[in-house]
Copies of this chain bind each other. A is one copy, B any other.
Amino acid sequence: MKDITRERLSQITTATISYQLLKRGIRDVFMQGIVPLSPGGERLVGEAYTLRYIPVREDPSDLSALGSAANLARRAIEECPAGAILTVDARREVHCGTVGDILVTRLMVRGVAGVVTDGGVRDAEAVREIGLPVYSAGAAAPASPTLHMPVGLQEPISCGGVAVFPGDIIVADGDGCVVVPQALADSIAEDAAAQEEIESFIQKLVAAGRPVIGTYPPTDQIRAEYEVWLKDGSPEITE
């Protein structure tokens, strides 16, 4: 991801990004059932580093394996790159945690950007205080081995009902999480930034009394009006 792309995406809403993706024919990239742990939702942008769980089975499951270097869930915590987002396929199973306060502390220390999981979060209160942006299916106290076994790192996964390939860009805000396919990130970021600029002009028009029909989405005439307004130094709008 180019620096300018990361910068742009960190200031754009998921609503605008989703719209740009829809314009390119891509509908199914907004994660379902995943909400910010902190009310409002701290903004989060980064490349996906993926971890895949399958349902636990009592024969291979072993609590003592949790701390071992071979445990993929633990390796994910240590190997997810700084600036990336730990992205977890937990089969949308909300009834147990997939990360907790100690693991989130480690991710924070390592410079990881945040966590996106379609499973639960343990110690939700403590995790909220740590401050790392976490998006999940909700709080749940049971530890991950209650329902999960880790089986893969950096594989293509399903998360919140959408495809995530390692390296895809995830953007999250109060509305939730959207996946931007890696190859489209630069173009989406550019067009979305432009869209937000003109929409902020439209927002001003509408606040001043302009009807939405003929104004939003912008017609050619509105685009012309916008150019004039920009040239005029963006004067205050009262109608």
Contact = CB atoms under 8 A, between A and B. Distances in A.
Interface of A: 13-15, 17-19, 22-30, 32, 35, 39-41, 54-60, 63-64, 66-69, 71, 74-75, 77-78, 91, 94-97, 100-103, 105-106, 109, 122-126, 138-143, 145-146, 149, 151-152, 155-158, 161-164, 173-176, 178-179, 181, 183-184, 199, 202-203, 206-207, 209, 211-219
A111 B185 CA distance: 40
A173 B125 contact: yes
17 contacts: A15-B97, A19-B143, A25-B25, A25-B58, A26-B59, A30-B96, A55-B161, A56-B163, A57-B162, A67-B216, A69-B213, A74-B212, A77-B213, A97-B175, A102-B212, A125-B174, A139-B176
A53 to B, nearest CB: 8
B54 A100 contact: no
A59 B207 contact: no
B203 A102 contact: yes
A96 B214 CA distance: 23
B26 A57 contact: yes
Contacts of A27: 58, 142, 146
Contact of A18 (B59, B146, B156, B183): B146
A35 B40 CA distance: 15
A56 B28 CA distance: 8
A55 B158 contact: yes
Given A14-B141, A67-B213, A67-B216, 18 more contacts: A15-B122, A17-B141, A19-B142, A22-B63, A30-B95, A39-B39, A41-B125, A57-B181, A66-B217, A67-B214, A77-B212, A77-B213, A97-B175, A102-B206, A105-B203, A106-B212, A124-B175, A141-B173
Query: Could you say which of A94, A109, A145 has the most chain B C-beta atoms within 10 Å of its C-beta?
Result: A109
Contacts of A178: 141
